[in-house]
Chains A and B, each alone.
Chain A
Amino acid sequence: MADVNVVKNNFLLIASSGSFANFNPPQLIYYHDKLQQFLLSSGDTLATVELFNLYELQFYLALLTKNDIEAKTVLNKLLDQFGNNKKSQRLKLLQSIYLEAIGDKEEALNLINRNPDEIQLARRLVTFSRMNENEDDNEDYIETLNYFLDLQPSDLIAWSELGHEYSKIGHYDKAIHCFKEILLQDSFIYPIYYQVGLNYYYQFLQEEKNLKTERKDKLLELMNILINARNNFLRAIEIFDDYPKGWVGILTITKLNSFNDKLKKLSDGGLKEVKQYLEQNESLQKLSNSKVEEFVTTEEYGSIIKQFSK
């Protein structure tokens, strides 16, 4: 059995990163039950800050697993402790999320002030323009996010959200622009290079699907999109050389056999840049194949490759 400190650090990391927002239902149930047990058995041994951070995590996990009474109890605990602080954005956010979850959207909206300086609440305010039941109908949401980013252009999380929203509706060029905005502010975020590469790949798939004739200039355009995708995956690997997603990305691009066959015809016609691309492809395929075999498990490969099939 793992040490109490190891388990505690695991929960604190989940809480601080917000990774539970992407958990699937079995994971949510597992962590909800585990955290409940942990707080019962070891809650007394935790430092106050750690304890309340874990209460916040418990609140989210309870709400996501539809344990509304438990979520309300935890929220009350937090309000009892910090309720005197009327300016606390964190508390207002939790209250608003709780009300939204139980269906009282109007009251949830009323709790949030329209103060652009309160960035946490302003972000939440943006989400009220989203169609929660049908996320693909996100025109209003995108418009509000753009308005928000005009006011807060250095909010990286909002840029990432906007990028994902554009990607959802197939505006990959705009999604790429959003992710590049993040890289302008911090050029070492390798998962964002991966996102840029992935969106170039989606753009390639989209344009290839719409390709009616195999014209030389069109094929070259597609090849350039793939080069951009490949370069971004390579940049991610340059920063973190054991990045499984980056290697799987390169392997996927180099294995596009039907498109590569079309390029081969152009290369035989004497196009130097195509020949160079195909040569680089060949060597990268060997390298990425060996890297994927070396440190990407079958399960991990399966979950990554899912992202490439749009």
Chain B
Amino acid sequence: MATSSSTLVLYFVGILLLIHSGYSSYEFHKLSSLSHHSQDLPQDILLETLIGIVVIVIGGISSIENPNALSLNGELIIPEHKYLKPIQMKDSVKLNEKIGISDYEDLNSRLPFINIVKKRKEYDDFIKSSEQ
């Protein structure tokens, strides 16, 4: 889940609108209590509140956008689903398979049992052979 700058702008604008509509409502009630006339809240304040909520909701939805990924070959992978991850297993494992690291990679890599001596020797041999 990535919070992009556009999402932050949407949150900021939405909160600003809500604060402004709240303050306008407070002013309106203060004035109407001083003038002893009870009136309904003006339409523009209601509209501003509604727009503020909608903008925040849009910001919230865009914040759950699936980020792009990088495969082990260095290719940029764009997820098939823009928002939320697929529920079905055959679809949900697809992205990691494209990256080159499956969801069960720990059973393949078996890091706790790594033969560090052998791996370093392999590396040594590779360096020696590439120097020749």
Contacts and interface: CB of A to CB of B under 8 A. Distances in A.
Contacts of B118: 132-133, 135
A242 B90 CA distance: 8
A192 to B, nearest CB: 7
B64 interface: no
A18 interface: yes
Contact of A100 (B109, B113, B117): B117
Given A19-B105, A25-B127, A63 B110 contact: no
Nearest to A98: B116
Contacts of B67: 3, 5-6, 9
Contacts, number: 129
B104 interface: yes
A158 B111 CA distance: 10
Contact of A18 (B94, B106, B126): B106
A206 B122 CA distance: 28
Given A13-B99, A28-B123, A191-B108, A157 B113 contact: yes
B4 to A, nearest CB: 9
A24 B105 CA distance: 16
Given A17-B106, A133-B118, A5 B89 contact: no
B69 A101 contact: no
Contacts of A66: 120, 123-124
Interface in B114-132: 114-124, 126-127
Interface residues of A, number: 54
Interface stretch (A42-50, A122-130, A254-262): A122-130
Contact of A19 (B76, B90, B101, B117): B101
Contact of B123 (A65, A164, A190): A65
A222 B115 CA distance: 35
Interface in A251-302: none
Nearest to B124: A66
Contacts of A19: 72, 100-101, 105, 108-109
Contacts of B96: 13
Which of B101, B112, B114, B124 has most chain A Cβ within 10 Å? B112
B2 interface: yes
Contacts of B113: 123-124, 126-127, 157-158, 161
A135 B127 CA distance: 22
Contacts of A63: 116, 120
Contacts of B123: 25, 28, 64-66
Contacts of B105: 17-19
A27 B113 CA distance: 20
B70 A7 contact: yes
Of B102, B104, B107, B121, which is in contact with the most chain A CB atoms at under 10 Å from its CB?
Answer: B107
A191 B97 CA distance: 11
A136 B18 CA distance: 70
Nearest to A18: B111
Interface of B: 2, 67-70, 72, 76, 89-90, 93-94, 96-97, 99-102, 104-124, 126-127
Given A9-B69, A19-B109, A25-B122, 17 more contacts: A6-B68, A17-B106, A19-B100, A19-B105, A21-B114, A27-B72, A66-B120, A97-B114, A101-B120, A127-B114, A130-B115, A157-B113, A158-B113, A190-B104, A191-B104, A191-B108, A240-B94
